Amino acid sequence: MDYKFSDKVSKLQASAIREILKFTSDPEVISFAAGNPAPEAFPKERIAEISAELLRDDPILALQYSVTEGYTPLRDLLKDWMTEKGCFHKEFDELIITSGGQQANELACKVLLNEGDTLLVESPSFIGSLNAFRSYNVHLKGIEMEDDGINIEKLENALKTEKNIKLLYVIPNFQNPTGKTMSFAKRKAVYELACKYDFIILEDDPYGELRFEGENVPNIKSLDTEGRVIYSSTFSKIISSGFRTGYCSAPAPIIQKMVVCKQVADVHSNMWAQVVSHRFMSTVDREAHFKKLRAIYKEKCDLMCGYIDNEFSKKIRYTKPQGGLFVWCDLPESCDMNEFCRQAVQQYKVAVVPGNSFSIEDGEVSHSFRLNYSTPTNEQIKKGMDILARMTREMLD
């Protein structure tokens, strides 16, 4: 039978990252292609204790339907925590629990944009959100990034020339895929442009608590006085990615529309995960927990970057992140990036992600690839980076 798919999904393609991960079923392949939290980062014992107590003392709370907005004690905890961080303004914001941070991003697009409207994004950007946006047939316009974040001059030029701009999507902290952090000056400039040109900023912050070097930079949401910023985050990187528990702080009218849209999508997010997340966040020493996570990722990042600094071909350029999970490497323009990534996994048994997986438009040329240091063990990082180092010297020097 010849299946006719809807216009909304007919042009969507499977994630190139997922395709590359198929090669990782080979036990000999070392994968730097995923983006999962480190196995040792999961607070397994405390989650087990909380779960046992919950299912013993109040099982129906976790097993029954609940409200779409989310588990009230968790929402209250998050409102207080987000207020401390400047990401929730009690005078005009509300908060919803979502099924991961990506659902918050998808809902923002769904409630604010019509087909054909323009959504500005950093270029490159997170493929999961890009595909969510594409499913609504919006016009994606990529804005080039610099070492300190989005190019403000090119952003303003797009604001002057593109039509029906409703939303700007950014990942200011340790961006996926580049690992770059937007400077405070640029965060202020982005917000000022939102006020000047009348659009909404969608600030995606899944990695904010994973800063292991440098000083914290205030979120764009902390600058919001006009109700122009939607802030989304998740427990995926700080408690459990499998919980699929995210949250979104935004002006109340936007949250109200998100609630209605979420009701027709999944009714509400997983209740067991919400209750466990609340009890975890309200009983542990949060800062001690975050400090442990940062130490894990700093060690892995330093280990990986040490090989790039000392063993890789000097023709490789890269951005050393101050947090998050990823390292972005640039090949010389004379090198075929796709062939490099293909040889890496098929001949050298090391999986990396080609940079064009994060491109905004079809046919964009990329000379970059992404490495992930959170998922592999330290021994795998040593072995895999030693292999990649030899590969880069053989191919480029």
- Residue pLDDT, tens place only, 143-199: 999 999 999 999 999 999 999 999 999 999 999 999 999 999 999 999 999 999 999
Cα dihedral sign, 285-322-99-96:
positive
pLDDT in tens, 51-82: 999 999 999 999 999 999 999 999 999 999 99
Name the CATH architecture for the domain at 58-283. Answer: 3-Layer(aba) Sandwich (3.40)
Report the distance separating Cα 385 and Cα 311, nearest Å: 9
β-sheet bridge partners, residue 139: 118
Q: CATH 3.40.640.10 spans which residues of the chain?
A: 58-283
% of the chain residues with pLDDT over 90: 88
By percentage, how much of the chain surpasses pLDDT 70?
95
Considering the domain delimited by 16-43+288-396, tell me its CATH architecture.
Answer: Alpha-Beta Complex (3.90)
Query: Looking at the predicted structure, is the pLDDT value of residue 11 above 90?
Result: no
**pLDDT 10s digits, 314-336:** 999 998 999 999 999 999 999 99
Backbone angles phi, psi at 43, to 5 degrees: -80, 65
Which residues, in sequence order, are CB contacts of 311 under 8 Å at separation 6+? 385, 386, 389
The pLDDT value given to residue 21: 61
Cα separation, 117 vs 163, in Å, equals 7
Residue 117 or 28, more confident: 117
Where are the CATH 3.90.1150.10 domain residues in the chain?
16-43+288-396
The pLDDT tens digits of the residues spanning 349-366 come to: 999 999 999 999 877 889
Mean pLDDT of the chain: 94
Question: Is the pLDDT assigned to residue 15 strictly greater than 70?
Answer: no
Per-residue pLDDT reduced to its tens digit, 235-259: 999 999 999 999 999 999 999 999 9
The model carries a pTM of 0.94
At residue 281, the pLDDT reads: 98
pLDDT grade for 16, boundaries at 50, 70 and 90: low
Please list, residue by residue across 14-42, b when 16 or more beta carbons sit within 10 angstroms of its beta carbon and e when fewer do: eebbeebbebbeeeebbbbbbbbbbeebe
* Cβ neighbours, 10 Å, residue 55: 13
| Residue 56 burial (CB count, 10 A) | 8
